[in-house]
Copies of this chain bind each other. A is one copy, B any other.
């Protein structure tokens, strides 16, 4: 029996990809093992269990989202930066719904908190170009995060029932946030 040559990063990456395909709820140890050409118990040589896998996928998603947002805001300020960040974030979540779903409902962790902090850094940079008193920066950051997180998760869960165009709604939302931050 030749070895598959797996390691933790490979397993986590495959898990994230599989979550995007079949939905986070459909991500199962057996399915992931099959995808990797291995039997289920072999996965435990690389991850501690499903909870551990979820946390690692969530950390990966936060890192990737932070990278996407950070790259998108380069060279912009004010409303342009806010819009770029918002679109990049939403784009990431829609492109990787399974991965991002892992960040919801997972019990926070040392490594996960660190990844979350990095993700917030990109948004903090955006807020610096708004006239916000320093003592309110954390409040503004939480508000912006809530807004984008809420929109992305609602859309990913098909939470918007009625007819109005979702892309238009998102652009309107960016305008609202811009006004609210001044």
Name A's B-contacting residues (CB within 8 A).
25, 101, 104-108, 113, 116-117, 136, 138-140, 142-143, 145-151, 153-154, 157-164, 166, 168-169, 172-173, 175-182
Contacts and interface: CB of A to CB of B under 8 A. Distances in A.
Contacts of A179: 179-180, 182
Contacts of A107: 158
A176 B143 contact: yes
**How would you classify the secondary structure of chain A's contact residues: helix, strand, loop or mixed?**
helix
Which of A105, A106, A157, A164: most chain B CB closer than 10 A? Answer: A105
B117 A142 contact: no
Which of A101, A113, A143: most chain B CB closer than 10 A? Answer: A143
Contact of A143 (B104, B145, B173): B173
